[in-house]
Structure 1
Amino acid sequence: MSVIEPILNRKSTKIFKKTEPISKEAVETIIEAAIQAPNHHITEPWKFFVMQGENMQQFYDAAMEFQKNRDISEEEFERMKVKMISKTMVAPTVILAVYSKNKNKTRGKYEEDILAVGAAIQNMLIQATSMGIDSIWKTGPVYNATEVKSALGIEEDEEVVGAIFFGENDNAKELLRKRTDKQEKTIWL
């Protein structure tokens, strides 16, 4: 079994086709891959909020409420309306990966747990690629805004580590991913 192929083939998709959400079975397989991520003391410091269909509008509305509550001009707010569509309504399925301190496992440390959630996200991206599902991992203040967390039922002390968008690429250009050669980033001691 080789995992290098989906790792090398994974690319961030910015434009998705307007299709049906990915299936419940596909979502469950992607989340199964996520929960296999390494985590010190087996703290399992994550929750996954799946959004499809009408939930996407709820997410957008909460993001717009966040923008409305910021101290910005009417012109800036109008610009943000358009930007929020590309931040929240871009794909048919979104999974929010949330750091949630496991209150039953007190040995967990924030630094380790937050990295474990990042590892879970990486597993999700690789699993999706292996299934032929395109994706992108997004971050930013809107995902942890009080308005968004309240609307989606995310606890105040929880933290959205990433919004992962899933669907089918609709970009006419071939997605290129250029990385620095490993030789330039490796130091042998």
Structure 2
Amino acid sequence: MTITPEQVNELIRKRRSIHPPLYSGETVDQKIVEQMLENANWAPTHALTEPWRFTVFTGEGLQQLADFQAELYKKASSAKGNFDEKKYEKLQGQPLLCSHVIAIGMKCDARNKIPVIEEVEATACAVQNMYLTATAYGIGCYWGTGGVTYLEEAKSFFGLEEEDKLLGFLYVGMPKEGKWPEGRRGSIAEKVRWVTE
């Protein structure tokens, strides 16, 4: 292996969630996004179900996503009497701050042999692979689960069936100069219990 443990440690510790308002407006090279997706495909997966499904929006496609999610939110929230104009505007505008937006879908195992939680976990590992790849290239990412993520009516727009899950959106963009935040974590000692006897 040509990758040192030190390089892996640094990559993991440098990974950050960088929100779209911190993007510069530059377009991320398509080859980098393709590499992110290829690396996502190498996530661990029980019984090789490979449940992750991605829909990538870029160029004019970002406006399609913005219009779809804003209007679906408006329809769904108005029916419940809790429409928020600021949230609507954010859903309309946030995709347009990005170079790419990757909708994160998960196919459920039709044979029901694999527990759904394990398919969610596998898809989350795929997203982490994309995050780490983006970090290696100096690309910003943010996994958001707001807006239309958990609305059943949204699934078909992303090529998902009724039994599948929409798990959110990975926003991708070039960070503005000096906008790579420092990390914050509590001590691992507070989160681990060792059993030695």
TM-score band, normalised by shorter chain: 0.7 to 0.9
TM-score, reference length from structure 1? 0.86
Per the alignment, residue 135 of structure 1 pairs with: 141
| Aligned 1:35-50 pairs, distance under 5 A | 35-50=41-56
Unaligned runs of 5+ in 1: none
Per the alignment, residue 183 of structure 1 pairs with: 189
Assess if the C-alpha contact under 8 Å between 1:63 and 1:147 holds in 2: no
TM-score, reference length from structure 2? 0.83
Assess if the C-alpha contact under 8 Å between 2:43 and 2:126 holds in 1: yes
| Deviation of the 1:95 alpha carbon | 1.1
Residue by residue over 1:102-159, the C-alpha shift from the partner in whole angstroms, topping out at 9 and shown as x without a partner, is 44x6532211111000111111101110111111111125124355433343333321
Per the alignment, residue 100 of structure 1 pairs with: 107
SS in 1 for 2:149: helix
SS in 1 for 2:148: helix
Residue by residue over 1:68-107, the C-alpha shift from the partner in whole angstroms, topping out at 9 and shown as x without a partner, is 213449995432232214543331111112111244x653
Out of 23, 27, 31, which is 2:29 matched to?
Answer: 23
SS in 2 for 1:143: coil
Out of 85, 90, 104, which is 2:97 matched to?
Answer: 90
Unaligned runs of 5+ in 2: none
- Measure, in 1, the Cα distance between the counterparts of 2:9 and 2:59: 33
Assess if the C-alpha contact under 8 Å between 1:62 and 1:147 holds in 2: no
Instruction: Name the % identity.
Output: 30
- Measure, in 1, the Cα distance between the counterparts of 2:82 and 2:124: 36
Per the alignment, residue 113 of structure 1 pairs with: 119
Q: Give the total of aligned pairs.
A: 187
SS in 1 for 2:50: coil
Assess if the C-alpha contact under 8 Å between 2:73 and 2:147 holds in 1: no
> Which amino acid is the alignment partner of residue 13 of structure 1?
I
State the superposition RMSD in angstroms: 2.4
Per the alignment, residue 9 of structure 1 pairs with: 14
| Deviation of the 1:165 alpha carbon | 1.1
SS in 1 for 2:126: helix
Q: Does 1:157 align with 2:195?
A: no
Q: Does 1:65 align with 2:71?
A: yes
> Which amino acid is the alignment partner of residue 90 of structure 2?
K
